[in-house]
Amino acid sequence: MVDSLSGGFHTRRPSPHEAIAVTDTPIRHDWTRDEVLALFDLPFNELVYRAHTVHRAHHDPNAVQVSTLLSIKTGGCPEDCAYCPQAARYDTGVQAQKLMDVDDVLARAKAAKAAGASRFCMGAAWRGPKDRDIPKVAAIVRAVKDLGLETCATLGLLGDGHAQQLKDAGLDYYNHNIDTAPEFYGEIIHTREYQDRLDTLEQVRDAGLKTCCGGIVGMGETRAQRAGLLQALANLPAHPESVPINQLVAVPGTPLANQEKLDPFEFVRAIAVARILMPRSVVRLSAGRQQMDDAVQALCFFAGAGSIFYGEKLLTTGNPDVEHDQALFRRLDLRAMEVVEQPGTVHADILESEAAGCGHGCGCSAAA
């Protein structure tokens, strides 16, 4: 067997027919690199068909969870992530700003809810919050939660007790991506270790928060390294409830500004393989969607993407506007999900807006 985070793989890959068989296995946390590569290597139509079959077995294929992401503290980050325009060391035109006030965030959250978002995600450009920052973020989380929205935060590395304090404030999800395959990580980031990310994810799970964890493709990695990213996600102790798959947005001023764009069909393959490896997780079509045409997005939904961001800027890069997304949903006969609060629980259930109470396992709550 191959260590799930080692990046090594055997020389012989399973045949496509062997790869097909893995979609019929129970939930697993012991995927080998060979098995994941064999899925990537399937004929495109076969891979997408298998992914859609898995998607239908665990989710409503015509319902999409809609989130809005707001940068509540922009710029000035001390990290050197090669893709990120918020890093202070890169000249990207992003100006450092202080943490937003509760009222300002609340106004944005109300607008997001009115536009159809069921989850409000808040990002802060920190290496990690200081102890003094947590009460301020907790106050924001409480205010947003009181609107009836699901809440998610991405604040960087968490210190002792931070995850529990955020959960006590009503936070539902914590986002912390592993970004890429373990063996490619050092090519992208030098100011924090891969293990640092795993340690924060462990704190999030231990606090009982739902985990949002994915990565970025198109940063110059090989297909084997893309497989390594998805292998690492699938072999975490628990599959993340939400798995955002981002396509690199090459921002001028960052080290990856001139990175060649990933073939769109390779991106669809990544969505499909993520769906097969983590059947109950909600796979999110995340950053880079602005660069995708409607046909590619439709393929992603068919291949297993069950969530998108829309509305506000995706941190400091754009994403399609609300009107265009709503029109695309109408053309594809997709329905946005809504939050239905359950008395006495912190986490809200996600159900179809037209079939509340159906209980057929669509969306994030079924993956908890």
Does 213 qualify as catalytic in the annotation? no
Q: Where are the alpha helices (DSSP H) in the chain?
A: 16-21, 33-40, 44-58, 102-114, 134-145, 162-168, 185-188, 194-206, 223-234, 264-277, 294-303, 322-332
Does 364 qualify as catalytic in the annotation? no
Does 212 qualify as catalytic in the annotation? yes
**Catalytic choice (121, 300, 362, 364):** 121
**Catalytic choice (33, 50, 77, 213):** 77
What whole-number distance in Å separates Cα of residue 171 and Cα of residue 153? 8
**Catalytic choice (13, 33, 119, 152):** 152
Token duo for residue 352:
């179809």
Does 121 qualify as catalytic in the annotation? yes
Which residue has tokens 């941190």?
315
Does 300 qualify as catalytic in the annotation? no
Residues contacting residue 337 through CB under 8 Å, at least 6 positions apart: 63, 64, 65, 66, 118, 350, 351, 352, 353, 362, 363
Does 127 qualify as catalytic in the annotation? no
What whole-number distance in Å separates Cα of residue 72 and Cα of residue 166? 15
Token duo for residue 311:
């509305």
CB 320 within 8 A of CB 285: no
What whole-number distance in Å separates Cα of residue 279 and Cα of residue 173? 19
**Catalytic choice (81, 213, 300, 364):** 81
Half-sphere exposure of residue 200, counting CA atoms within 13 Å on the CB side?
Answer: 23
**Catalytic choice (50, 212, 213, 362):** 212
**Catalytic choice (84, 213, 300, 364):** 84
Distances (CA, A) of 82 to 78, 184, 251, 255: 12, 12, 10, 5
Q: List the catalytic residues.
A: 77, 81, 84, 121, 152, 212, 284
